[in-house]
């Protein structure tokens, strides 16, 4: 305001000084003297406006220096007195389409309330605006694919849902997750992984339109919202098209050719939920369910899937708590040599009693623990606790006994597995040769070479390796040849029917015959009757484990057995 007071005619000697001040600033200034009907410009005027102004009438001219859409507002800003309102600042873009100006106005009124002087300042805020645009971009878009990001998708989906409620329409949410993406990332590197994500994102963007929102959440996860689909027809069509695209390869800039597939889950408003986030969750849950069936699947929402999932979640939470509070114990099931019924070893089997006092079977909670990673602390606990108990028996009874431990594929694959196992054995002075590691075929199928290497390392340490549940999986004896396995545990499903079913009988006999020739020991699991026992003994199965000879029991009961054996 001081500036204006002193910028009046009577102080014209100071004009020079103000001229210098204007010139030092990056801004452009316009001074309008209403009484004298003169207009003066100063500062960086020519940089922004290619019109010279001298009279108030000419002011109109700069009205047209800004982009079309700002013209009416800008005129209001330039001539506020016409409408009796004072608009103090606004932002405009010039006709060059690049430069952004922040415009400020100050008006001085005389005693009667009429405008006397007015000064306008125009500041170049292009740089600031660009930074701001980048921030806005980041807030709405995903940098990698240029698709909407998750946050913005949720917002837009919310708008779809509001509209659908008014118009009585449906909205389908399609959750897409590429199959085996981690293999691309791990195997070919993240640069290639990123390119796959980009290419697939670009492909999906072809579906975007008024009624379809396409977004990229993160990594290999995309989400679509389809407005007003007729039932699921349009969604099914999109799925079909994606499927057709997947039949063709993705060609990367480095020349690599990749085929990919994706798992897709669909949940619809209002059937699955009326809430945007919940819909996305439901679509994800059913996608996972579909993935369990195989690659390139589509799964539509149904209530049973959600119910199962919620039960799993409940179980997961309880499991985490149990790990934390160590609400587990270990039962040991004896194994006997078939020919003389001497104790061969014991298998450690985990037991979980939850807070309500229910015993929960490991067949139920181990798969969940494998999914959510709690198998690592659980497995470590089983390892340490059973070795500790085993070492106590050793000290007291000096038995020659094998401790069999179930090792999950997840545990086995960890780099520190051998090291931590050796650490525990060292601590309790138990030799690796007294320990048998039970692994299942799921360990073998992933990367046979790597698995074989690791098995050899274990073997060199002196561990026994046994293949659990033999007969339930691929069970090809040919690929066992190269693996350093000591023992094959024939699954209970064989033993169950070995007496009654002739085919099973033939298979079991030939397995035992061949396995013995390959030099493996055999243990039959789940032997419940005397008849089964006698038969297995007659076909030269080495050892027997089952309810007939001993159920899984607490450590104290094992001690009784050891006492008896020691005589």
Residues at the interface with ligand C2E (CB under 6 A) = 333, 348-350, 361-363, 366, 379, 382, 406, 408, 468-469, 525-528, 545-547, 552
Query: Which does residue 333 bind out of ligand C2E, Ca ion, none, counting CB within 5 to 8 angstroms by kind?
Result: ligand C2E
> Which of ligand C2E, Ca ion, none lies near 349, with the C-beta cut-off 5 to 8 A by kind?
ligand C2E
Shortest reach from residue 468's CB to Ca ion, in Å = 4
How far apart are CB 501 and Ca ion at their closest, in Å?
Answer: 20
Report in angstroms how near the CB of residue 466 gets to Ca ion at its nearest.
Answer: 8
Q: Are 464 and 402 in contact (CB under 8 A)?
A: yes
Q: Distance between CA 263 and CA 298 in Å, rounded?
A: 6
**361 contacts which partner out of Ca ion, ligand C2E, none, CB within 5 to 8 A by kind?**
ligand C2E
> Is 195 or 438 the residue whose CB approaches Ca ion more closely?
438
Instruction: State the minimum distance, in angstroms, from the CB of residue 539 to ligand C2E.
Output: 18
Q: Identify whether the C-beta of residue 306 lies closer than 8 Å to the C-beta of residue 283.
A: no
Of the pair 435, 527, the CB lying nearest ligand C2E is at 527
Residue 526 contact partner, candidates Ca ion, ligand C2E, none, CB within 5 to 8 A by sort of partner: ligand C2E
State which H helix or E strand residue 455 sits in: helix 448-461
Tokens 């406006």 belong to 49
Residues 6+ apart with CB under 8 A from 36: 9
Q: Which is nearer to ligand C2E, 546 or 555 (CB)?
A: 546
Give one word for 341, left, alpha or beta, with left for phi > 0 and alpha for psi -120 to 50: left
Euclidean distance between CA atoms 490 and 478, whole angstroms: 16
495 binds, among Ca ion, ligand C2E, none (CB under 5 to 8 A by kind): none
Query: In the bound complex, what is the minimum distance in angstroms from residue 346's beta carbon to ligand C2E?
Result: 12
Closer residue to Ca ion in complex, CB, 266/382: 382
Taking the least distance from each CB to ligand C2E, the nearer of 120 and 338 is 338
User: Shortest distance, CB of residue 220 to ligand C2E, whole angstroms?
Assistant: 29
Nearest distance from C-beta of residue 410 to ligand C2E, angstroms = 9
**From the list Ca ion, ligand C2E, none, partner contacted by residue 366 (C-beta under 5 to 8 A by kind):** ligand C2E
| Strand blocks (E) in 450-549 | 464-470, 487-490, 521-524, 543-545
306's tokens: 């959600």
User: Which of Ca ion, ligand C2E, none does residue 408 bind to, with CB < 5 to 8 Å depending on kind?
Assistant: ligand C2E
How many beta carbons lie within 10 A of that of residue 536, not counting itself?
25
Q: Where on the chain is the footprint of Ca ion (CB under 5 A)? A: 406, 438, 468-469
Q: What angle do CA 260, 265, 270 make, to 5 degrees?
A: 155
Q: Work out how close the CB of 307 gets to ligand C2E at its nearest, in angstroms, rounded to a whole number.
A: 24
| Structure-block tokens of residue 86 | 């004072």
* Residue placing its CB nearer to ligand C2E in the complex, 89 or 497: 497
Stated as kind and residue range, the H or E segment containing 348 is strand 343-353
Minimum gap (Å) between residue 365 Cβ and ligand C2E: 9
Residue with Cβ nearer Ca ion (56 or 362): 362
Cα–Cα distances (Å) from 501 to 299, 474, 498, 504, 515, in that order, read 39, 21, 6, 5, 21
Which residue, 101 or 369, has its beta carbon nearer to Ca ion?
A: 369
Which CB, 29 or 412, lies closer to Ca ion? 412
**Of these partners, ligand C2E, Ca ion, none, which one is at the site of residue 552 (CB under 5 to 8 Å by kind)?**
ligand C2E
Give the 3-state DSSP-derived string for 360-371, with helices as H, strands as E and coil as C.
ECHHHHHHHHHH
As to burial, measured by CB atoms within 10 angstroms (0-12 exposed, 13-18 middle, 19+ buried), residue 256 is middle
CB 93 within 8 A of CB 66: yes
């Amino acid at each position: 305001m001081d500036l204006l007071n002193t910028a009046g005619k009577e102080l014209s000697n100071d004009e020079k000084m103000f001229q210098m001040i204007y010139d030092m600033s990056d801004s452009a200034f316009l001074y309008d003297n209403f009484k004298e009907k003169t207009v003066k410009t100063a500062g960086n005027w020519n940089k922004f406006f290619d019109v010279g102004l001298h009279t108030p009438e000419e002011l109109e001219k700069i009205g047209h220096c800004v982009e079309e859409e700002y013209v009416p507002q800008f005129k209001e800003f330039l001539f506020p007195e016409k409408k009796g309102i004072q608009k103090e600042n606004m932002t405009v873009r010039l006709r060059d389409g690049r430069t952004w100006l922040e415009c400020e106005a100050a008006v001085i009124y005389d005693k009667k309330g009429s405008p006397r002087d007015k000064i306008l300042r125009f500041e170049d805020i292009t740089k600031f605006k660009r930074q701001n645009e980048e921030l806005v971009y980041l807030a709405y878009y995903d940098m990698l694919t240029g698709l909407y990001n998750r946050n913005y998708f949720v917002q837009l989906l919310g708008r779809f849902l509001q509209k659908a409620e008014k118009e009585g329409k449906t909205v389908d949410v399609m959750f897409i997750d590429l199959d085996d993406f981690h293999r691309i990332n791990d195997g070919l590197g993240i640069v290639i992984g990123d390119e796959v994500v980009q290419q697939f994102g670009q492909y999906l963007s072809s579906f975007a339109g008024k009624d379809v929102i396409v977004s990229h959440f993160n990594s290999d996860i995309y989400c679509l919202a389809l407005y007003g689909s007729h039932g699921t027809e349009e969604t099914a069509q999109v799925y079909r098209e994606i499927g057709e695209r997947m039949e063709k390869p993705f060609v990367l800039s480095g020349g690599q050719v990749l085929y990919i597939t994706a798992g897709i889950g669909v949940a619809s408003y209002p059937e699955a939920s009326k809430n945007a986030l919940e819909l996305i969750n439901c679509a994800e849950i059913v996608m996972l369910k579909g993935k369990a069936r195989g690659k390139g699947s589509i799964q539509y929402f149904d209530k049973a899937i959600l119910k199962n999932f919620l039960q799993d979640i409940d179980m997961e939470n309880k499991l985490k708590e149990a790990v934390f509070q160590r609400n587990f114990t270990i039962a040991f099931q004896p194994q006997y040599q078939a020919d003389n019924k001497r104790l061969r070893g014991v298998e450690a089997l985990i037991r979980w009693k939850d807070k309500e006092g229910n015993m929960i079977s490991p067949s139920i909670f181990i798969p969940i623990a494998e999914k959510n990673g709690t198998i690592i602390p659980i497995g470590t606990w089983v390892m340490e606790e059973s070795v500790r108990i085993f070492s106590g028996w050793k000290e007291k009874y000096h038995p020659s006994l094998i401790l069999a431990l179930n090792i999950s594929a997840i545990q086995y694959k960890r780099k520190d597995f051998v090291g931590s196992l050796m650490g525990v054995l060292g601590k309790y002075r138990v030799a690796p040769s007294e320990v048998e590691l039970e692994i299942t075929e799921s360990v073998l199928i992933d990367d046979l070479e790597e698995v074989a290497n690791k098995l050899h390392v274990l073997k060199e340490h002196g561990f026994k390796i046994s293949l659990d549940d033999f007969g339930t999986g691929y069970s090809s004896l040919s690929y066992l040849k190269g693996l350093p396995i000591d023992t094959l545990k024939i699954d209970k499903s064989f033993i169950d029917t070995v007496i009654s079913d002739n085919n099973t009988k033939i298979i079991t006999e030939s397995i035992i015959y061949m396995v013995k020739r390959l030099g493996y020991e055999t243990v039959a699991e789940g032997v419940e009757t005397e008849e089964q026992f006698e038969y297995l003994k007659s076909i030269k199965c080495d050892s027997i484990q089952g309810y007939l000879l001993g159920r899984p029991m607490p450590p104290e009961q094992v001690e009784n057995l050891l006492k008896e054996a020691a005589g």
